[in-house]
Amino acid sequence: MIQLLTPAHWKDYELIDCGNFEKLERFGSVTLIRPEPQAVWNKALPEAEWQQRHDIRFRGRSATAGDWVKKNPKTPDRWHITYQNNQGGFKLRMALTSFKHVGVFPEQAVNWDYISDTVKQFKTSSPKVLNLFAYTGGASLIAKAAGADTTHVDSIKQVVSWANENQEISGLKDIRWVVEDALKFVKREIKRGKKYNGIILDPPAYGHGPNGEKWKLEDHITEMMQDVVQLLDEKEHFLILNTYSLGFSSVIVENLIKGAFPKAENLETGELYLQATAGPKLPLGVFGKFRKV
């Protein structure tokens, strides 16, 4: 079943408008303008309203880096936002990085709801969840808040430290932090005979491990899927695969999952998007997920 999914109302996040390769979005009390390569259409709101509503704008210096320009110098470089659903919640520290990121991918809130809902349905008292390519830990935090024994894996030490800070400000504890190449970690867990009830993968198009390992999505995702499904608990499990690559469709994700795990139950595939208040829909990746509870 192919479907389009966008997060339900989230008080601390709003996509206000998008177009002309930019997006206007609010994180808590701070409104940003950032580049958005997917927004090839015209803006719905007039440019004057964008100028009036934003607090900070990102201006690129190169293809990979840039600077943040504040209208008011007193606007903070760091602040907190909260996410809450019926199963639990957490806080995230926002920060202005030179790569235009701020510490969260808001479209992932759809997956956070799926994670917490599924963890709560498991009969086992302490389900184990593995979050790969885990970034600042939104999925790890919601899994932990829902009661899962959670392992968080990312190759960048500073990002894992950021995730650990998010755990602390959320009042959570005991997430297992691992700084390692995701594929190497999975292969070692297979050798150890480990099993997980939930596995989350949100791999980048390109990346590097802590020891210079190279990750390219189209070259390595099939091997990763073939390996990672060996870690799934037979009785109760879920798996989420999310990709943000202009060349990937939900049909590709469906083929990857079915090829690696033909017995997947309740398989859903589709596209994640954010609904702008001004009208446009902003596509932000494709997903595939399945569960057995």
User: Is residue 136 a contact partner of residue 103, using CB atoms and an 8 Å limit?
Assistant: yes
Average pLDDT over every residue of 205-227 = 88
Predicted confidence at residue 4, as pLDDT, reads: 84
pLDDT value of residue 207: 84
Structure tokens at 47: 């440019």
Contact 159, 135 (CB under 8 A): yes
Give me the pLDDT at residue 71, please.
96
> What's the pTM value of the predicted model, to 2 decimals?
0.95
CB burial string 216-231: b at 16+ within 10 A, e below? ebeebbeebbebbbeb
Question: So what's the pLDDT on residue 236?
Answer: 97
First to last CA, the chain: 19
The angle formed by the CA atoms of residues 256, 115 and 119, to the nearest 5 degrees, is 115
Question: pLDDT tens digits for 149-174?
Answer: 999 999 999 999 999 999 999 999 99
**Alpha carbon of 88 to those of 12, 34, 112, 117: distances in Å?**
15, 29, 10, 10
pLDDT band at 205 (very low <50, low <70, confident <90, very high): confident
Average pLDDT over residues 64-84: 95
Q: Is 197 helix (H, G, I), strand (E, B) or coil?
A: coil
What stretch of H or E contains 151?
Answer: strand 149-154
Domains contained in the chain, CATH given: 2-76 (2.60.40.1180), 79-93+101-292 (3.40.50.150)
Which pLDDT belongs to residue 215? 84
pLDDT grade, residue 1 (50/70/90)? low
Could you count the other beta carbons within 10 Å of the beta carbon of residue 184? 15
Residue 8 banded pLDDT, cuts 50, 70, 90: confident
Q: Mean pLDDT, to the nearest integer, of 181-206?
A: 96
The full 3-state SS of 250-283, as one line of letters, equals HHHHHHHHHHHCCCCCCCEEEEEEEECCCCCEEE
Whether residue 97 has pLDDT greater than 60: yes
- Count CB-CB contacts under 10 A for residue 195: 15
User: Is the CB of residue 12 less than 8 Å from the CB of residue 272?
Assistant: no
Percent of the chain topping pLDDT 70: 99
Average pLDDT, the chain: 95
Instruction: Give the number of other Cβ atoms within 10 Å of residue 35's Cβ.
Output: 14
Structure tokens at 262: 């033909």
* pLDDT bracket for residue 63 (50, 70, 90): confident
Beta bridge partners of 292: 237
Span 197-221, mean pLDDT? Answer: 89
Confidence of residue 3 (pLDDT cuts 50, 70, 90): confident
pLDDT at 263: 94
The percentage of residues in the chain with a pLDDT greater than 90, rounded to a whole number, is 87
Q: Measuring CA to CA, how many Å separate 171 from each of 105, 111, 242?
A: 21, 21, 27
Which has the minimum average pLDDT: 7-11, 49-53, 283-287?
7-11
Q: Please answer whether residues 159 and 182 qualify as being in contact, where contact means their C-beta atoms are separated by less than 8 angstroms.
A: no
